[in-house]
């Protein structure tokens, strides 16, 4: 028969409690390590997404430059008087245009067929075509298309009374000789300027389906 003193029994009990606390501490450290790893992974994913987003924005800017260059090359003559579907150009404004396709509850909207799949069967009043051949920008990982819309009520010659186009007011880089308020009856503000406005809408899509849609208003 073994006889243990009360002090020895207390020491044995304390060893059991230390083991429990050690296990709890080990579990807590493990959970903290897992949380740290997940946090690092999330941060890396966010940085990667921001990089893809920046790539699409840069691609959209380059596509906009090319669209403006196309307009500049065709601004003379009658080329821009009629719509050119293959170039993603509309000679008149498109009513209720939803460039991003986000107003899904509106069945009177007009969509841009960015993916060239007839707007994927989405509910819309019309489905207009952008640039037929997508632009490969940068290393080719980003694809961009544009849709150019002349801000006019109808196609045709903008000098005709049946074609109403938005136009800028006259401007000059010289200092004005007049001071004070600007009066709408001033004949200089009533001069007709044959310049026209164009809306250049670009959508660029890159890695992980990152998408950027930009819009630029220009006039010639």
Most confident of 2-16, 83-97, 174-188, 201-215: 83-97
pLDDT confidence of residue 41: 55
pLDDT confidence of residue 146: 97
133 pLDDT more than 90: yes
pLDDT confidence of residue 47: 44
Over residues 92-110, mean pLDDT? 91
Give the DSSP per-residue string, the chain: -----HHHHHHHHHHHHHHHHHHHHHHHHHHHHHHHHHHHHHHHHHHHHHHHHHHHHHHHHHHHHHHHHHHHHT-STTGGGS-BTTBTEESSPPTTEESS---TT-TT-EEE-TTSSGGGG---SEEE--BSSPEEETTTTEEEEEEEEE-BSSSS-TTSTT--B--PPP--SSPPS--S---TT-GGGG------EEEEEEEEE-GGG-EEEEEEEEE-
pLDDT band at 42 (very low <50, low <70, confident <90, very high): low
């Amino acid at each position: 028969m073994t006889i243990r003193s009360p002090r020895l029994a207390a020491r044995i009990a304390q060893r059991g409690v230390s083991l429990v606390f050690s296990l709890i501490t080990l579990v807590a450290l493990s959970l903290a390590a897992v949380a740290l790893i997940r946090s690092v992974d999330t941060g890396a994913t966010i940085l990667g997404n921001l990089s893809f987003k920046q790539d699409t924005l840069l691609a959209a800017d380059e596509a906009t430059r090319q669209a403006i260059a196309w307009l500049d090359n065709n601004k003379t003559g009658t080329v821009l008087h009629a719509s050119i579907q293959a170039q993603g150009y509309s000679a008149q404004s498109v009513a209720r245009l939803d460039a991003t396709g986000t107003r899904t509850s509106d069945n009177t909207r007009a969509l841009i067929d960015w993916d060239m799949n007839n707007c994927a069967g989405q509910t819309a009043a019309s489905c207009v075509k952008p640039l037929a051949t997508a632009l490969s920008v940068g290393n080719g990982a980003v694809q961009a298309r544009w849709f150019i819309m002349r801000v006019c009520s109808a196609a045709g010659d903008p000098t005709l009374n049946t074609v109403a186009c938005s136009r800028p007011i006259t401007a000059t880089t010289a200092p004005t000789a007049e001071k004070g308020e600007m009066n709408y009856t001033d004949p200089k503000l009533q001069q007709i300027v044959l310049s026209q406005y164009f809306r250049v809408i670009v959508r660029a899509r890159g890695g992980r389906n990152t998408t950027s849609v930009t819009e630029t208003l220009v006039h010639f």
